[in-house]
A and B are shown apart, each in its own frame.
Chain A
């Protein structure tokens, strides 16, 4: 079983819809990262969080350390949000990073 599980694997939404991507992990962590990978391949770090909630524009990330669960929300989705969203964790006392398989989001106009 993968240490980092994401759901759903694929998600198609209409422009304007509220989107939620979920991430569950099984190891103790010092931080959780949400990454965005566009079709061209480049990876951008969206959030790094170790507790609570962070917001950047239309993106919101939350984490529940006790339940080992994080969510990424996109409000008022737009076609330019179409990308693969990857959840990754930095295990406690370890410098590596463990990745989920990614969620492929397609937002249709």
Chain B
């Protein structure tokens, strides 16, 4: 158990809909990262937050947004969903900001868009 929790574990929805994925980092970790893992593109970095502020952005679509709240949990919002958004979404956390820190991964949320 990494100490990172994600909800829900599974999500089935329809095209055009909007969903929210939730992540609680390990106690004491200030950074939260979001990743997408699809069958055809592997793991991709989406976005990072540190202590409530966005710090790095990767291949995140404009239809996707995220935020980190004062209690440090984070939410990833996916809107106008398309079939291709079906994937595993992981969040990870680390203590600080730097890239040279171990990241602890949550169990993931499996999203299926029908």
Which A positions have Cβ atoms within 8 angstroms of B? 29-31, 33, 35, 41-45, 48, 50, 86, 88, 90-91, 94-102
Contact = CB atoms under 8 A, between A and B. Distances in A.
A41 B104 CA distance: 14
Given A42-B107, A42-B108, A95-B48, A30 B43 contact: no
A50 B100 CA distance: 8
A99 B44 contact: yes
Contacts of B104: 45
Given A42-B105, A43-B90, A44-B105, A99 B42 contact: yes
B55 interface: yes
B98 interface: yes
B42 A41 contact: no
Nearest to B108: A41
Determine the main DSSP class of B at the interface with A. strand
A36 to B, nearest CB: 10
B7 to A, nearest CB: 15
B113 interface: no
Interface string B84-113: 000010101000011111111101101000
A98 B58 CA distance: 9
15 contacts: A31-B101, A35-B105, A41-B107, A95-B50, A95-B55, A95-B99, A96-B57, A96-B58, A96-B99, A97-B33, A98-B45, A99-B43, A99-B44, A101-B42, A102-B43
Contacts of B15: none
Contacts of A95: 48, 50, 55-56, 97-99
Contacts of B100: 30-31, 48, 50, 90
Contacts of B50: 95
Given A43-B108, A96-B45, A96-B57, 8 more contacts: A31-B99, A31-B100, A90-B99, A90-B100, A94-B56, A96-B58, A99-B43, A99-B44
